[in-house]
Amino acid sequence: MSETKQSTIRIAAVGDIHFGENDTGRYQEQLKDIANHADVFVICGDLTQNGHAKEAQVLADELKYCRIPVIGILGNHDYDKDEDAAIRDVLRPVMRLLDEEPYVLEGVGFAGTKGFGGGFGGYTLAAFGESATKAFVHEAVEESLHLEKALSRLEANKKVVVLHYAPIPETLKGEAPEIFPFLGSSRLADPIDTFGADLIIHGHAHHGSPKGQTNKGIPVHNVALAQLEDPKKPYITFEI
């Protein structure tokens, strides 16, 4: 039986780029250069500043300078003005949206969803009481189920999970503890630990910590733009 060759790819990742209407040219040179450092560019949500489709159009025009595949998900900012459907329409020609379809590159599979809040471990919010509370929990459960479905049908030697909200509390350290339940949920980590992954990346926590791991030891990295130290390199690179 022939042995399947294991590929290694370079991933450039960032979250929370918050493009606005006046950001033309903001990262044009870096997007031209990124192909020298990575094989795929992953954006972990909050693509726009205020959730307007016209802001997404500015980003889409900039991404045309990127010569490698671009994949990602939407974040909470991208839903703020209820223009998320229009934002998707604008971005589809230049990037693959992982919450619509997983993606496989050189044997490495990418699955993703926005995620939602709800808290962690024994402090996870339960669907009890007011209808507003039940609706909040329902959203978190639906996002987890969406990720579970994507992972269950992803056929790849290696797997990368792309989120906006955090699946563990460790990468939130640095944020105010009072808002941890609104920055992520361990419901997102459950399907990942069940189906397995090699790497998890997320954004959203601008003042959080750079890395942690799930209960099963899967590495988690917070790649929010505000976490990065070099403004000339607005992404973090991984090899997998």
Please report, for the chain, the start and end positions of each structural domain, with discontinuous segments joined by +.
10-239
123: exposed, middle or buried (C-beta count within 10 Å: 0-12, 13-18, 19+)?
exposed
Average pLDDT of the residues in 28-55: 97
Of 129-138, 149-158, 226-235, which gets the smallest average pLDDT?
Answer: 226-235
Average pLDDT of the residues in 14-40: 96
For residue range 71-85, list pLDDT tens digits in order. 999 999 999 999 999
Please check the confidence at residue 233 and state whether its pLDDT lies above 90. no
Cα(first)–Cα(last) distance of the chain, in Å?
25
pLDDT for the residue numbered 230: 77
pLDDT for the residue numbered 231: 66
For residue range 162-189, list pLDDT tens digits in order. 999 999 999 999 999 999 999 999 999 9
Residues paired with residue 97 on neighbouring β-strands, in sequence order: 72
The distance from CA 208 to its chain's CA centroid, rounded to whole angstroms, is: 15
For residue range 207-220, list pLDDT tens digits in order. 999 999 999 999 99
DSSP structure string for the chain: -PPPPPP--EEEEEB---B-TT-TTTTHHHHHHGGGT-SEEEEES--BSS--HHHHHHHHHHHTT--S-EEEE--GGGGTTS-HHHHHHHHTTT-EETTT--EEETTEEEEEE-----B-GGGPPPS-SSHHHHHHHHHHHHHHHHHHHHHHT---SEEEEEESSBSSSGGGBTB-GGGGGGTBBTTTHHHHHHH--SEEEE---TTS-SEEE-TT--EEEE-BGGG-S-TTS-SEEEE-
Average pLDDT of the residues in 145-160: 96
What's the CATH superfamily of 10-239?
Metallo-dependent phosphatases (3.60.21.10)
pLDDT for the residue numbered 3: 34
Distance CA 213, CA 197 (A): 11
| Band of residue 5 on the pLDDT scale cut at 50, 70, 90 | very low
Please check the confidence at residue 1 and state whether its pLDDT lies above 80. no
What count of other Cβ atoms lies within 10 Å of the Cβ of residue 133?
A: 13
**CA proximity to 166, closest of 110, 204, 212:** 204
Please check the confidence at residue 227 and state whether its pLDDT lies above 70. yes
Cβ contacts of 70 within 8 Å, gap of 6 or more: 40, 41, 42, 43, 63, 94, 95, 96
Please check the confidence at residue 228 and state whether its pLDDT lies above 90. no
Average pLDDT of the residues in 9-25: 97
Please check the confidence at residue 128 and state whether its pLDDT lies above 80. yes
Please check the confidence at residue 161 and state whether its pLDDT lies above 90. yes
